[in-house]
Chains A and B, each alone.
Chain A
Amino acid sequence: MRKRLLTGVIAATMAAASMVATTSAHAAAIDYSKCTDLKSCGGMDALVKAAQKEGKLNVITLPRDWANYGEAMDLFSKAFGIKITDDNPDGSSAYEIQTVKTAPASKVPDAVDVGITYGADNSNLFSPYKVQNWNDITSTYKDASGRWYGDYAGVIALSYDTSIAKAPKSFNDLKDPAFKNMVAIGGDPSAAQESLMSVFAANLANGGTTSDVQKGIDYFSAMKASGNFVTALASGQNFLAGAYKVSFSWSFNGPGAVATAAKAGKTVKYVIPSDAVIKGTPYIMAIPFNAPHPAAARLWTEFLYSENKGKSSTTLGSTKGMTGSKIFAAINGGQNIWIAGGALPIEYDAMVAKGTNATAPAGYEIPAGAKIVTPSPADQDAAKALLKTQWPAIAGN
């Protein structure tokens, strides 16, 4: 009887002790869907551990050859052992926002990368998180409470098939009869961001200002009349079939496009036009508040905003047994991965000041002393309105 009582007391004490232990453990447990910076997320080791426990990361609309995202995903996966699922790589910003709003819980993206208007207009969908290098992010392009933040931008470049007789260096060059039937654009400028910026670039090259793109529109009008501009869609397959030889696109699409074209037997070169350097407004990154893998989402974001110079996915060895912070310190940060992809990452200026930036690939350096112009969202709206009425006449035939 006494023995039973003793067993009972011991059992009760042990139970009470374990309950206390559990409670204090619970008190220390972090809600990764709510922590707002690395410190409140428990530090890098804890964050990595939690992310690895989640094991998965949902990204969305990230083409592998867009700003070197392929390398970013490969490196992240390899370093932390987290499986990345990329929903609809060819999709658009609207698709990303619509997915956040309507997809079933498991398919909601853990991070989005959208055009600036999509990010700013939908801040209520995102949960605030300020990365370690928050202060290096240009203040114009981040939300004060940390719900969204610019990540990278590109410069409009000329891309061309090197087999043509004359190599173009500027918008002015393209007016030459040598480029008859050769110049195409990648989309309808009143509807596609990259094409819209190409019109801004043509506009700048012809003496226009960002508030009025009429000179840019006139440029394309004249090019169409002279036969230099063709109405073919500038796409990989059309290029392969010889539909056009010269086009315009974001610098960060360059390295990937050159590699892809080479595989198909075509040599493509990208060059920043000497008469116009148009830098786009940066894309925006954000973490939806209903992200299914919040710790992985935050780790991915820290990774992309890291300014580290380290190993790439090909040079990285095994990370087994390494603590989270050690792994993080060993690998290339997203900012430098983007530079290698021909993009201008948001922390670029801060990195240059600190000397932590990698060098841009050859041919993607901005000409020294060039005036870099960025059309504001208001400028872009005005341009779109103008193009909506005037572009059909240029494109139609």
Chain B
Amino acid sequence: MKRFSLKWPLIAISSTLAFFLFVVPLYGAATYSFKGNGGKGHSLVNYQWLIHADGFYPSLLTSLKLAVLAGALNLLLMVPTMVYLNLKGQKFKPLVDFLCILPLIIPVVSLAIGAQVAMPEFLQNTEYELVFFFVIIALPYTYRALDTSLQTVALKTLVEASRSLGASWTRTIIRVIVPAIRSGITGALFLTFALSIGEYTITSLLHWETFPTWTVVAAQQNILGAIAISVFSFVGAIVLLTAIALFSKKRVQQVEVEA
């Protein structure tokens, strides 16, 4: 019985929709970013201005640094937590779920005000305080991504098999569970990264300068420059994350080959 393949119609529909909803707006903004001086013609002046603007590299490095730390802290905290939650801590699930959704429900501005008022002075004197808040804001997505992934694998079986073969908890998590939930981890990591690089409200209210807050200042009197910054941030983040994804895929394949 030959079945009518839905493949190409589905791809066609989704591509068209994606084109109008995602590609066209980005293209629309990009056309402005390529305008020349005084809005005439086409050129890369706005991007050149951006890259040579005072503070571009320091603020970008700060953002990247904080994003990497936030990603690492997030996984370190949440992977063991989510594994335990799905294994033996089932009764705590609703509570943890609620706590992880809370950062999404609380308006970021209110969380920032709360941070201003509640955080001790020694913490407020270092920019690394932002790492903790980035992890907090990423919690909703992290929980969701990891939980969904964990529910698709036979967690209990995997863990029992690994433990009965003599593996410690650490080894089990790193070598057995993590590869199994790679999809969820990647999603969580990417979102944490993207979120940290783009976070503005808390950073601004806690008086720190990262890439997003720097761009607002730098672009004050330069509308085209501001647009170039948004397009650059978008495309740059996509390129960066894709590079990480491709690199990590290669490494995993190498590990598998070695094993």
Residues of A within 8 A of B (CB): 63-65, 70, 86-91, 95, 98-99, 102-107, 236-237, 240-241, 256, 259-266
The one of A70, A95, A264 that contacts B224, using a Cβ cutoff of 8 Å: A264
Given contacts A91-B204, A107-B207, whether A260 and B116 have CB atoms under 8 Å apart is: no
Task: Pull 5 A–B residue pairs with CB atoms less than 8 Å apart, ordered by A.
Answer: A105-B121, A237-B223, A256-B221, A264-B39, A265-B35
Q: Are B125 and A260 in contact (CB under 8 A)?
A: no
Asked if B100 is at the interface of the complex by the 8 Å CB criterion, the answer is no
Identity of the chain B residue whose Cβ is nearest the Cβ of A63 in the assembled complex: B220
Contacts of A106 in B (CB 8 A): 125
Asked if B56 is at the interface of the complex by the 8 Å CB criterion, the answer is no
Given contacts A87-B207, A107-B207, A241-B32, whether A266 and B39 have CB atoms under 8 Å apart is: yes
Asked if B48 is at the interface of the complex by the 8 Å CB criterion, the answer is no
Given contacts A237-B226, A237-B227, A263-B222, whether A90 and B125 have CB atoms under 8 Å apart is: no
CA distance A103 to B37 in the complex (A): 40
What sequence of 0s and 1s flags, for each residue 46-76 of chain B, a beta carbon within 8 Å of any chain A beta carbon?
0000000000000000000000000000000
For window 167-220 of chain B, which residues contact chain A by CB distance below 8 Å?
Answer: 204-205, 207, 213, 216-217, 220
Asked if B40 is at the interface of the complex by the 8 Å CB criterion, the answer is yes
CA distance A329 to B133 in the complex (A): 48
Contacts of B113 in A (CB 8 A): 98
Contacts of A65 in B (CB 8 A): 220-221
Asked if B117 is at the interface of the complex by the 8 Å CB criterion, the answer is yes
CA distance A184 to B227 in the complex (A): 21
Contacts of B207 in A (CB 8 A): 87-88, 99, 103, 107
Extra inter-chain contacts (18) besides given A237-B223, A256-B221, CB under 8 Å: A64-B221, A65-B221, A70-B221, A88-B213, A90-B216, A95-B205, A103-B116, A104-B121, A240-B32, A260-B223, A263-B37, A263-B39, A263-B223, A264-B38, A264-B222, A264-B224, A265-B35, A265-B38
Q: Are B221 and A265 in contact (CB under 8 A)?
A: no
Given contacts A102-B116, A103-B207, A265-B38, whether A240 and B223 have CB atoms under 8 Å apart is: yes
Asked if B124 is at the interface of the complex by the 8 Å CB criterion, the answer is yes
Identity of the chain A residue whose Cβ is nearest the Cβ of B208 in the assembled complex: A107
Identity of the chain B residue whose Cβ is nearest the Cβ of A109 in the assembled complex: B207
Contacts of A107 in B (CB 8 A): 207
The one of B116, B213, B217, B223 that contacts A264, using a Cβ cutoff of 8 Å: B223
Contacts of B125 in A (CB 8 A): 104, 106
CA distance A177 to B204 in the complex (A): 43
The one of A99, A102, A105, A260 that contacts B117, using a Cβ cutoff of 8 Å: A102
Q: Are A263 and B224 in contact (CB under 8 A)?
A: yes
Q: Are A104 and B38 in contact (CB under 8 A)?
A: no
Contacts of B217 in A (CB 8 A): 86, 89
Identity of the chain B residue whose Cβ is nearest the Cβ of A259 in the assembled complex: B221
Identity of the chain A residue whose Cβ is nearest the Cβ of B39 in the assembled complex: A265
Cβ distance A255 to chain B, nearest Cβ, rounded Å: 11
Contacts of B222 in A (CB 8 A): 260, 263-264
For window 7-48 of chain B, which residues contact chain A by CB distance below 8 Å?
Answer: 32, 35, 37-40
Contacts of A64 in B (CB 8 A): 220-221
Contacts of A105 in B (CB 8 A): 121
CA distance A265 to B117 in the complex (A): 44
CA distance A331 to B28 in the complex (A): 46
Q: Are B221 and A262 in contact (CB under 8 A)?
A: no
CA distance A265 to B204 in the complex (A): 30
Identity of the chain A residue whose Cβ is nearest the Cβ of B112 in the assembled complex: A98
CA distance A260 to B121 in the complex (A): 39
Contacts of A236 in B (CB 8 A): 223, 226
